[in-house]
């Protein structure tokens, strides 16, 4: 649903996604859904700013991404991860205004999308990550996660 001709829809998630999240821990699912809702409202410039922050991850972010992948695999969240990735990619595409390629930001745009997928999944498996790992995965999104 949009209110202006250039506004983006704020509900891109499918019924399958909602069903898959409902099968997860309710608090974690709500945290993930809230994060995704916030991503859907980001502008093109905000995505690029996130991409710049995420483009050269610190060592702790790389280790945290490995821990995240292990948690997703260990808890059989592969389908959920795929659906989260789809929502993030859709939100990024909408924010790009359907510009050429991946949002006219090249590697920066891809870094933003990848960081957004990891951050959304970190919200879903927060209880399975060390506090520092969770913080490292959310670092490019501090503005989104404070509210």
DSSP track, 9-32? PS----HHHHHHHHTS-HHHHHHH
Q: What is the pTM of this model?
A: 0.79
The predicted-structure confidence for 107-135, as pLDDT tens digits, reads as follows 888 999 999 999 999 999 999 999 999 99
Contacts of 125 (CB under 8 A, 6+ apart): 28, 68, 71, 72, 75, 77
How many angstroms separate the Cα of 43 from the Cα of each of 47, 48, 56, 140?
Answer: 6, 9, 21, 15
- Residue that is written with structure tokens 């060592």 in the block: 59
The predicted-structure confidence for 50-100, as pLDDT tens digits, reads as follows 999 898 877 788 899 999 999 999 988 888 899 899 999 988 888 887 654
Answer whether residue 140 shows pLDDT above 70: yes
């Amino acid at each position: 649903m949009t209110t202006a001709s250039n506004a983006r829809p704020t509900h891109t998630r499918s019924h399958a996604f909602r069903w898959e999240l409902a099968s997860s821990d309710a608090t974690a699912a709500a945290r993930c859904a809230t994060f995704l809702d916030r991503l859907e409202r980001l502008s093109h410039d905000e995505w690029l700013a996130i991409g710049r922050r995420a483009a050269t991850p610190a060592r702790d972010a790389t280790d945290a991404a490995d821990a995240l992948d292990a948690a997703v695999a260990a808890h059989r969240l592969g389908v959920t991860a795929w659906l989260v990735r789809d929502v993030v990619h859709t939100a990024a595409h909408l924010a790009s205004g359907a510009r050429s390629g991946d949002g006219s930001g090249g590697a920066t745009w891809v870094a933003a999308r990848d960081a957004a997928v990891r951050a959304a999944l970190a919200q879903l498996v927060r209880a399975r990550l060390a506090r520092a790992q969770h913080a490292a995965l959310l670092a490019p999104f501090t503005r989104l996660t404070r509210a």
